[in-house]
């Protein structure tokens, strides 16, 4: 069984919600990636999403774009990221999910990419610019390697498409909570709770909400309608500021939260 399914099954047994922090690999230097992964597990991460810096990140807001620029200026490469994840894997037990756009995978070589991330201990892959209709480009390789392709749905995704997309995976369904790019937000569309409830009712796999989630109140509210959250921009900011106390406090918000 894939590490994602194992981890989420264990959390479900204890009626616990899922907290997945996102970090940009190479922001602050590739040499800190392993230690940051260890810290995030220590602070209670259920899994960790590791971003690959890319020059044209169409789904990313200003905070993550700037983190990607810093990472690229530090000389971060996909090969280097995979190497550092491999080093870190011996120190952490939770799932590692790589988030990358399709172009870096193509440039690297699809088969080579999947082979090497499997060897490094990556458990899932999020490719936001890969439509379901085109995923045969990489999905068969990932399936053979037992790496979950994490698919996304949005506020504008029709219910029949949500059903079709959620039936394909065994990891989790990524519910995008805004009509737009990543980044911290003070409020959400009034229809968000209904949207999450609808997905939860129709998805055979866990539903995690992401994009713009940045504070305790949002995390508690949103996780009352789904299985967990993915928090990116706020995590990236706190790491960039080296504010580990605030990071630990934010990540502990679900410690005593249980499923409805």
Mind listing the pLDDT tens digit for each residue in 135-187?
A: 999 999 999 999 999 999 999 999 999 999 999 888 999 999 876 445 444 54
Query: Residue 258 falls within a domain, yes or no?
Result: no
Per-residue pLDDT, 181: 47
Residue 17 confidence (pLDDT): 95
Q: Domain for residue 259, yes or no?
A: no
Q: What is the CATH number of the domain that holds 146?
A: 3.20.20.70
pLDDT band at 249 (very low <50, low <70, confident <90, very high): very high
Question: Is residue 256 in some structural domain?
Answer: no
Q: Does residue 260 sit within a domain?
A: no
**Catalytic residue status for 60:** yes
Domain that includes residue 186, residue range: 3-250
Token reading at 182: 């990543």
Q: Which of 10, 31, 41, 49 is catalytic?
A: 49
> Catalytic: 49?
yes
Q: Is residue 246 part of a domain?
A: yes
Q: Is the pLDDT of residue 238 over 80?
A: yes
Average pLDDT over residues 185-200: 76
Domain count, the chain: 1
Residues 48-64: tens digit of each pLDDT: 999 999 988 877 788 99
- Low-confidence winner among 129-138, 189-198, 210-219 (lowest mean pLDDT): 189-198
Residue 102 falls inside a structural domain: yes
| Catalytic position from the list 27, 41, 60, 123 | 60
| CA–CA dist 144, 146 (Å, integer) | 5
Q: What is the pLDDT of residues 70-124, one digit of tens each?
A: 999 999 999 999 999 999 999 999 999 999 999 999 999 999 999 999 999 999 9
């Amino acid at each position: 069984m894939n590490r994602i399914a194992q981890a989420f099954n264990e959390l479900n047994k204890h009626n616990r919600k899922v907290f997945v922090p996102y970090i940009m690999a190479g922001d602050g230097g590739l040499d800190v990636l392993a230690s940051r992964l260890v810290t995030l597990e220590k602070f209670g991460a259920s899994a960790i999403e590791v971003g690959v810096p890319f020059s044209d990140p169409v789904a990313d807001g200003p905070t993550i774009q700037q983190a990607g620029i810093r990472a690229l200026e530090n000389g971060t490469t996909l090969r280097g990221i995979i190497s550092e994840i491999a080093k870190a894997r011996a120190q952490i037990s939770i799932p590692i999910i790589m988030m990358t756009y399709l172009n870096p995978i193509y440039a690297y070589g699809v088969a080579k990419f999947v082979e090497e991330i499997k060897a490094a201990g990556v458990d899932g892959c999020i490719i936001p610019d890969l439509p379901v209709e085109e995923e045969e480009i990489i999905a068969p390789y990932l399936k053979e390697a037992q790496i979950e392709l994490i698919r996304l749905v949005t506020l504008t995704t029709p219910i029949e498409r949500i059903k079709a997309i959620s039936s394909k995976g065994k990891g989790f369904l990524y519910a995008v909570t805004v009509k737009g790019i990543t980044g911290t937000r003070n409020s959400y569309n009034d229809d968000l709770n209904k949207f999450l409830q609808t997905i939860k009712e129709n998805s055979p796999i866990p539903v995690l909400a992401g994009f713009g989630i940045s504070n305790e109140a949002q995390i508690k509210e949103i996780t009352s309608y789904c299985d967990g959250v993915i928090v990116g921009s706020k995590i990236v900011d706190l790491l960039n500021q080296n504010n580990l106390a605030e990071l630990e406090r934010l990540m502990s918000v679900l410690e005593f939260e249980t499923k409805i």
